[in-house]
Chain A
């Protein structure tokens, strides 16, 4: 290594380098060198090398190695390009002795065996500082540690030829790398639920604002930007986990009537309280992940937010029972929408107070309320104006009886019913839904192990009082195999927009109905058939024919779907196993 100039080395390279110059290796090289010297008849023993040439070569090779692998690794062996040249160049039909040995060492990925040049089994080459003849143009040149191997992996090539081949190699690896990167990008954006292709100017600008949110100094005046855009910015920065005390101020524009905060986990109690002080005109308030909310904040809201019509509290686990009751007493009468999720402090007493004080509720969502049991649910029968009812993932035993009572009294008004995760419900609930819910257009019932195929079929078969569902989530009904799905499609096939059949053990012949039943699912936009084992390429292709409007097809865990499946370009297949490889490679 003349002059001591080196490119960055990996530890392994360094180690092998030291291995490469051991005694036997030097000996064999020496013998070979003598033979070659005789053959070439060159008096190459005492030549001194002009120093400028060496430095030039070193510079050249260092830059090539760094650029070929730029962005991938920071440790680069100086001989990378040398090895790449060996392996990627096609071997011509010469019959030299060491060729087979060369082949043995060859690895499938040419860019990764940077240490092969120091393999002791490899044919000896002229040492740095010696004179050799280029394998391509046959000119005389001085070997340096950065000299590249010839096209057959034999001998070396001169700097000029090295530059030419380096460019070719660089282009090839770069192309490969770019193609892989593009594929990965496409898959990543698929998984993120983003549309591929050109983004709208609005989305581009929103991303820029969200990225520089810390530098935004003024309140985002929604008269100028538009309410919709401010909300979108809030969503994006919540996703980036950048909604905190500082950035919250940008969204508190006095005079607005709706405030949606998608992630309050970094907002302090004091700042939450300020919302009540700054925005007394609020009608709808959504606070997700508001773990820092305390009794004091909620009671302050109840005195301050006199216009409130709807409130969503996600995970307010510090707020206590008396405080909820006091809030309902103060503001309950005007409330139309209420969502409470993820808390263990709401129980039958709180529900009782809710029912007594909020007679005008139209929308009630109770998600993951641990203490919600049959007794508490039965109290909801008094909420006569309810249009939307969600009781999902209740922690305690929630039996058929209570749900049936509720449906019997208020079912006729319901447009949306969500019973996801109510595991103890049976076919009886489905029967009650059939009897009581003529206006239903959104229905979820998941994970209820006792619901049978026949039960689902009986709900939908000739359900004439209901004009058809738009949204149906029947995921993880472990007995839904054939007749249920047939009945759903017959009843709601023309109206369904979203259908979730995740983990339903549909039989292969259940799919026949989709195309032989004669119904086209004209409005279906989104379909989830994840973990349905009977799905394969043929099924997906047929599905795309039957559902002309389909935009989103979720296929997580349906591992018979391959990359070869032919679907129209407007359908995004999400979660295909073949795509996921790109995420990890």
Chain B
């Protein structure tokens, strides 16, 4: 169980959707990285679960998709551009600012 804890983190949206992500991917976001810092002793770090009050499931899903996209292509050139749905652009922009990604 503790191994799984070390490797994965749960992100929860404000409407109750939970996404289980590899930590390495989630740490693309500087904000999440500092939340999960063990030294900080934040609740998030202890429980390995972060609840985002400012994102619904749809937005958070896209954000998770971006985390994996970023992790996959990190350090490469000729990266295919990730498609974002136009209707989410503003919410994602707001969230990106918050997550520092």
Which A residues form the contact surface with B (CB < 8 A)? 182, 185-186, 196-202, 204-206, 208-209, 211-212, 215, 224-226, 228-229
Say which residue of B76, B78, B84 sits within 8 Å of A208 (CB atoms).
Answer: B84
Complex CA–CA separation, A204 to B69 (angstroms) = 12
Q: List 24 A-B contacts (CB under 8 A).
A: A186-B77, A186-B78, A196-B78, A197-B76, A197-B77, A198-B70, A198-B79, A199-B79, A199-B81, A201-B63, A201-B66, A202-B93, A202-B97, A204-B66, A204-B81, A205-B92, A205-B93, A205-B96, A206-B93, A208-B92, A209-B89, A212-B86, A224-B94, A225-B93
Complex CA–CA separation, A309 to B18 (angstroms) = 49
Report yes or no: A201 in contact with B79, Cβ–Cβ below 8 A: no
Report yes or no: B90 in contact with A209, Cβ–Cβ below 8 A: yes
Asked whether A201 and B81 contact (CB < 8 A) given A209-B90, A212-B86, the answer is: no
Q: What residues of chain B lie closer than 8 Å to A200, measured between beta carbons?
A: 96, 101
What's the least CB distance linking A42 to chain B, in Å? 53
Complex CA–CA separation, A35 to B72 (angstroms) = 62
Asked whether A201 and B94 contact (CB < 8 A) given A182-B78, A208-B89, the answer is: no
Interface majority SS on A: helix, strand, loop or mixed? helix
List the count of A-B residue pairs having beta carbons below 8 Å apart: 69
Interface majority SS on B: helix, strand, loop or mixed? helix
What's the least CB distance linking A244 to chain B, in Å? 20
Report yes or no: A202 in contact with B77, Cβ–Cβ below 8 A: no
What's the least CB distance linking A200 to chain B, in Å? 6
Complex CA–CA separation, A200 to B92 (angstroms) = 11
Asked whether A204 and B84 contact (CB < 8 A) given A186-B77, A197-B77, the answer is: yes
B20 within 8 A of A: no
User: Which of A205, A206, A211, A226: most chain B Cβ within 10 A?
Assistant: A205
Asked whether A202 and B96 contact (CB < 8 A) given A185-B78, A186-B78, A209-B89, the answer is: yes
Q: How many residues of chain B get a CB closer than 8 Å to chain A's CBs?
A: 25
Report yes or no: A197 in contact with B89, Cβ–Cβ below 8 A: no
Report yes or no: B97 in contact with A198, Cβ–Cβ below 8 A: no
Complex CA–CA separation, A205 to B62 (angstroms) = 11
Report yes or no: B96 in contact with A198, Cβ–Cβ below 8 A: no
Asked whether A226 and B97 contact (CB < 8 A) given A212-B86, A215-B86, the answer is: yes
Q: What residues of chain B lie closer than 8 Å to A226, measured between beta carbons?
A: 93-94, 97
Q: What residues of chain A lie closer than 8 Å to B70, measured between beta carbons?
A: 198, 201
What's the least CB distance linking B24 to chain A, in Å? 14
In addition to A198-B70, A200-B96, A205-B92, 7 A-B residue pairs with Cβ atoms within 8 Å of each other are A197-B74, A201-B63, A201-B99, A204-B66, A206-B93, A208-B86, A215-B86
Q: What residues of chain A lie closer than 8 Å to B90, measured between beta carbons?
A: 205, 209, 225
A212's nearest neighbour on chain B, judged by CB, is: B86
Complex CA–CA separation, A212 to B94 (angstroms) = 17
